[in-house]
Structure 1
Amino acid sequence: MSDTPDTPPTGAEATAQAASQARPARKPAPGGAPRDRAKSSRRRAREFALQGLYEWQLNRREASSVDANIRELEEFSKCDRAHYDALLHGCIDQQTQLDEALLKFLDRPVDELSPVEHAVLWIGAYELTHCLDVPYKVAINEAVELAKGFGGTDGHKYVNGVLDHLAPSLRPDEVKAARPR
């Protein structure tokens, strides 16, 4: 922990703190047994990218330093590293463009978003823009799941609404084909 309460934690300390604060308790499945569904390597990549983007927003350190901290986390080896790299570095490199695309559909200024919702929206917008192998509905759903798992109580509803409005401008043909007439 940092020496003074006004100094945000840095490095692995910040990543560990963010992860411990953001990880939800495991929800029991119907009947009371804990869910034990294996996460896909892509979902893990999104979760690690979210943690990195969260740390980066709080500390504004070099992306390579944030990346190094995330790679030290337990179970990182189980994620799709190429997708993680694309998300973390792509969102940081293109934050301005992603914010501009999102701004049209936000009900508040970008700087008033929670860091978790902001990072989730970046990931969703980045996947909609650059990861054409991911169907748009999957990109939105994965962002919603990230917001449910790491964000505030109703943050997932906000993320869903924003990305659902953004998708037609980024993937018009795919959205048109999928939506009823």
Structure 2
Amino acid sequence: MAERGKKKPVGGPRSAARLGAVQALYQLEMSDEPKVPMVIEEYLRHRLGAEIEGDQYVDADGDLFSDIVAGAWSRVDEFDEAIAPCLAKDWPLDRLEAIIRAILRAGAYELTARPDVPTAVIINEYVDIAHAFVERAEASFVNGVLDKLAKAVR
């Protein structure tokens, strides 16, 4: 039984890996000197599956987490170019909030590099993650962009 006042972990290891990957990609973008191996190691050792500020995080699929972070970050320019045509002409990628860019980049990576994962699963997972950080309209925006991107790359 969970202690009173503490949240129970939600989602499975793959969902937790995706959420952690989005957070790590956000951290990398906000960093003056992004160091992917250090950020991945930090998350694997200290964040994924840990209790932080009274919240218990689900153990994540470390391999999936590492794959998404390293893969999305190493190809960030490529994914930004693929995402740009899916946006309105008057709304460039750099105008989006950093967390939305992180979500879209992680989704773009999985859509292009993980054919083993069904398109609907990828889109649904990242829309769910968007709901954790932004309002409903922005989460719907993520859905629309990832759907357009999926049609272009799959």
TM-score normalised by length of structure 1:
0.70
CA deviation digits over 1:41-86, x for unaligned, max 9? 1000001111101111111421122223222115168111111011
Structure 1: gaps of 5 or more residues = 1-34, 172-181
C-alpha distance in structure 2 between counterparts of 1:127 and 1:42, whole Å: 12
C-alpha distance in structure 2 between counterparts of 1:81 and 1:131, whole Å: 16
| Residue of structure 2 aligned with 1:165, choices 139, 145, 148 | 148
| Cα offset, 1:37, TM superposition | 7.4
SS of equivalent residue, structure 2 residue 26:
helix
C-alpha distance in structure 2 between counterparts of 1:94 and 1:124, whole Å: 12
2:55 counterpart of 1:81: no
Q: Which residue of 2 aligns with 1:57?
A: 29
Letter in 2 for 1:109: P
Give the number of equivalent residue pairs.
137
| Residue of structure 2 aligned with 1:70, choices 27, 34, 43 | 43
Letter in 2 for 1:55: Q
Structure 2: gaps of 5 or more residues = 1-6, 51-57
| Residue of structure 2 aligned with 1:92, choices 56, 64, 73 | 73
Q: Which residue of 2 aligns with 1:151?
A: 134
Q: Which residue of 1 aligns with 2:55?
A: none
Rg (Cα) greater in structure: 1
CA deviation digits over 1:138-163, x for unaligned, max 9? 11111100100123442111100111
Cα distance change, pair 41–169 in 1 and its aligned pair in 2 (3 A)? same
C-alpha distance in structure 1 between counterparts of 2:38 and 2:9, whole Å: 32
SS of equivalent residue, structure 1 residue 78:
coil
Cα distance change, pair 153–38 in 1 and its aligned pair in 2 (3 A)? closer
Letter in 2 for 1:73: R
Instruction: Tell me, yes or no, if the aligned pair for 1:51 and 1:70 is still in contact at 8 Å.
Output: no
Instruction: Tell me, yes or no, if the aligned pair for 1:87 and 1:123 is still in contact at 8 Å.
Output: yes
C-alpha distance in structure 2 between counterparts of 1:144 and 1:113, whole Å: 16
Instruction: Tell me, yes or no, if the aligned pair for 2:20 and 2:65 is still in contact at 8 Å.
Output: yes
C-alpha distance in structure 2 between counterparts of 1:64 and 1:79, whole Å: 17
2:107 counterpart of 1:133: no
C-alpha distance in structure 2 between counterparts of 1:106 and 1:130, whole Å: 21
| Cα offset, 1:38, TM superposition | 4.2
C-alpha distance in structure 2 between counterparts of 1:56 and 1:152, whole Å: 23
C-alpha distance in structure 1 between counterparts of 2:121 and 2:48, whole Å: 26
By relative contact order (CA 8 Å, sep 6+), the higher-ranking structure is 2
| Residue of structure 2 aligned with 1:120, choices 93, 103, 114 | 103
Letter in 2 for 1:68: E
